Amino acid sequence: EKGNHRHFMAKEMHEQPEVVSHTLAHYLDLAAETVLLEADLPFDFTGLERISIAACGTAYYAGLIAKYWFEQIARLPVEIDVASEFRYREAPLPKNGLAIVISQSGETADTLASLRYARQEGQKVMAVINVPTSTIARESDAVMPTLAGPEIGVASTKAFTCQLATLAAVAVAAGRARGVLTPERERELVRALIEVPRLMNEALRLGPQIEVLARSFAKSQDVLYLGRATSYPLALEGALKLKEISYIHAEGYAAGELKHGPIALIDEKMPVVVIAPHDQVFDKTMSNMQEVAARGGRIVLLTDARGAAEAGIETEATLVLPEMHPFVTPLVYAIPIQLIAYHTAVQMGTDVDQPRNLAKSVTVE
């Protein structure tokens, strides 16, 4: 079942170009380069006041990335919380509100409780779900399937990028419905999404370079991940992935937060992974990277050719990704983030597909 892969996680990482392509084909008109949301939505994006998102773990980070998209592309305010907090917070929710829950399994107890709270507070609920027969899918007003296929590895990989593909399409649909996007801008964003599977295939070719890098990661006590804008949630996801399968302590931070505390951790032993595609916040992230370099930090830079040329700092390693529209960077940069965790775990000899203390589906709180 693993084909020629050593672990389900490896197989599932390599399936991403294909399953993301399927997911995109479900939500996009590839020929017309527009979004199509075939489901008759039981709400109207135009009248929406706010979106509230609740999810756990990796699905929560997908939601955090989507927050940037909904706000920028559809000018829709988004609040987001981990489901275990959302369900008990007694947050007042707007009259015309949409709640989005995101879950691979569709059975996560806290996410289900958040859905029920939101419905009770009069919200329409949209579920981004990989298991269409799940409890969360059944109880939602609208189901947006992710077409990742069964995910066996405990660490979520292909479900995450399919969640991003789905949420990106929904954000573009919302932008169009709200009159924020011109037809040209919609086509530009959709074209960027259509490129993603090809870009993911290119990113997967970083495997051998990351395998070498993983030997030094495996000797580390701690790893720090930094990013800005949508690369910030990806930094959080990178740290989570590394922790859960290699058991190495890792933290993700918004790069701008560095000087508010974590900079004290920088020394010549701790790798600092800087996620910095050449986008609108690149220069800001570079100045944070300079602060790390000035303190002798070990930098692993994830960027594109232009970013690598402009970085002007010596790094321990620079992973060069293809250039792409800034909208889609989280989908593609997810790949090296996953590969770093995977190869480090393999190097450590941990049980990659069944990490200790973790269950694939968390049906108790």
Active site residues: 360
- Select the residue whose beta carbon is closest to ligand F6R and give its number: 57
Contacts of 212 (CB under 8 A, 6+ apart): none
Q: Is the dihedral of CA 180, 183, 186, 192 positive or negative?
A: negative
CB atoms within 10 A of CB 294: 11
Q: Strands, DSSP E only, in the chain?
A: 28-29, 34-35, 50-55, 78-82, 97-103, 124-129, 142-145, 222-227, 249-254, 271-275, 298-304, 317-321
Pairing of strands 298-304, 28-29: unpaired
DSSP, residue by residue, 241-277: HHHHHH--EEEEEEGGGGGGTGGGG--SSSEEEEE--
Which candidate, 193, 158, 164, places its Cα nearest to that of 324? Answer: 193
Among 21, 23, 52, 58, binds ligand F6R (CB under 6 A): 58
Among 19, 51, 80, 155, binds ligand F6R (CB under 6 A): 155
Which of these segments, 8-16, 55-63, 218-226, 342-350, binds ligand F6R (CB under 6 A)? 55-63
Q: Strands, DSSP E only, in 114-268?
A: 124-129, 142-145, 222-227, 249-254
Number of residues that bind ligand F6R (CB under 6 A): 15
- Determine if 145 is a binding residue for ligand F6R (CB under 6 A): no
- Determine if 166 is a binding residue for ligand F6R (CB under 6 A): no
- Determine if 41 is a binding residue for ligand F6R (CB under 6 A): no
- Determine if 361 is a binding residue for ligand F6R (CB under 6 A): yes
Q: List the interface residues with ligand F6R, window 65-124 (CB under 6 A).
A: 103-105, 108, 111
Q: Distance (Å, rounded) from C-alpha 365 to C-alpha 354?
A: 20
Among 140, 156, 161, 285, binds ligand F6R (CB under 6 A): 156
- Minimum gap (Å) between residue 40 Cβ and ligand F6R: 26
- In the structure encoding, which two tokens stand for residue 350, read together? 């941990």
Which of these segments, 39-47, 50-58, 193-201, 305-313, binds ligand F6R (CB under 6 A)? 50-58
28 versus 346: smaller Cβ distance to ligand F6R? 346
- Determine if 244 is a binding residue for ligand F6R (CB under 6 A): yes
- Determine if 57 is a binding residue for ligand F6R (CB under 6 A): yes
- Determine if 59 is a binding residue for ligand F6R (CB under 6 A): yes
Provide the binding-site residues for ligand F6R, judged by CB under 6 A.
Answer: 56-59, 103-105, 108, 111, 155-156, 240, 244, 361-362
